[in-house]
Chain A
Amino acid sequence: DAGVTQSPTHLIKTRGQQVTLRCSPKSGHDTVSWYQQALGQGPQFIFQYYEEEERQRGNFPDRFSGHQFPNYSSELNVNALLLGDSALYLCASSNDVRAGDGNEQFFGPGTRLTVL
């Protein structure tokens, strides 16, 4: 089992550009969440996808969007990049937790985005 995989590992962009990050969930998982971890901070919840739809969202602007594919993999898109978007972007997968049973999230290694 490969676990959660993310690509690319590192990415350098300039302000105003657009970026797409990719995530493949752990085998058997159907829910994908994205987090932004700025330097020296804890991860902050961006949004969660289930059944190819955004199910809930954190306090992030519309420049942050995503997609989930039928095979449960997911993309995070960020438009009009700002310097403040520089961070480690983490993807986490889990089983559907509508029951709220504290199901464990498995995290990928992250994509390090640098905006110049």
Chain B
Amino acid sequence: AQSVTQLDSQVPVFEEAPVELRCNYSSSVSVYLFWYVQYPNQGLQLLLKYLSGSTLVKGINGFEAEFNKSQTSFHLRKPSVHISDTAEYFCAVDTTGGYQKVTFGTGTKLQVIP
């Protein structure tokens, strides 16, 4: 079985400051990793995903994440946040091979302060 831990339930940050949202996972097999964003009263939108290859993954809206296999982490970063980035962010994992069965973390609420 796989699991995802997002240690920070809320992260306040000033506009134009950098931000890092932390994600650690646990799995006995190889995994795919994802970050999703959820705006109020909306579904989830994929920000980026790691399948294989380069450990630095770039996504939409200026976000990027780095896969660290030894630390089983997949932290999300953005060098300069905007008010519009205020949302909830979910890290998710799926095992490679077999059928798709995604496990989500509990989410991190990013609050951008003007």
Interface size on A, residues (CB 8 A): 30
Contact A41 B44 (CB under 8 A): no
Closest to B52 in A: A102
A residues in contact with B106, CB < 8 Å: 40-42
Q: Which residues of A contact B (CB under 8 A)?
A: 4, 31, 33, 35, 40-45, 48, 55-56, 58, 90, 92, 94, 97-98, 100-110
Q: How far is the CA of A48 from the CA of B43 in the complex (A)?
A: 17
Contact B101 A56 (CB under 8 A): yes
Is A48 a contact of B100 with CB atoms below 8 Å?
yes
**What are 24 A-B interface contacts by the 8 Å CB criterion?**
A35-B104, A42-B4, A42-B105, A42-B106, A43-B104, A44-B104, A45-B101, A48-B99, A48-B101, A56-B99, A90-B44, A97-B99, A98-B98, A100-B100, A101-B51, A102-B51, A102-B94, A103-B100, A104-B46, A107-B36, A107-B43, A107-B44, A109-B42, A109-B43
Q: Please report whether the interface of chain A is mostly helix, strand, loop or mixed according to DSSP.
A: loop
Q: A100-B95, A110-B42 are in contact. List 19 more A-B contacts (CB 8 A).
A: A31-B100, A33-B100, A33-B102, A35-B104, A40-B107, A41-B106, A42-B90, A42-B92, A43-B104, A45-B101, A45-B103, A48-B99, A48-B101, A56-B101, A98-B99, A100-B99, A104-B49, A105-B102, A109-B42
Contact flags (1/0) for B80-114 with A, using CB distance below 8 Å?
00000000001010111111111111110000000
Q: Which of B42, B43, B96, B105 has the most CB of A within 10 A?
A: B43
Residues from chain B with Cβ under 8 Å of A41 in the complex: 106-107
Bound-state Cα–Cα, A94 to B94, Å? 14
Residue of B nearest to A31 (CB): B100
C-alpha spacing A103/B97, complex, angstroms: 11
Given contact pairs A41-B106, A42-B105, A105 touches B100 in the complex (Cβ within 8 A): yes
When chains A and B are docked, how far (Å) is the Cα of A11 from the Cα of B70? 45
The one of B41, B46, B90, B97 in contact with A43, judged by C-beta atoms closer than 8 angstroms, is B90
How far, in angstroms, from A101 to B43 measured CA to CA in the complex? 23
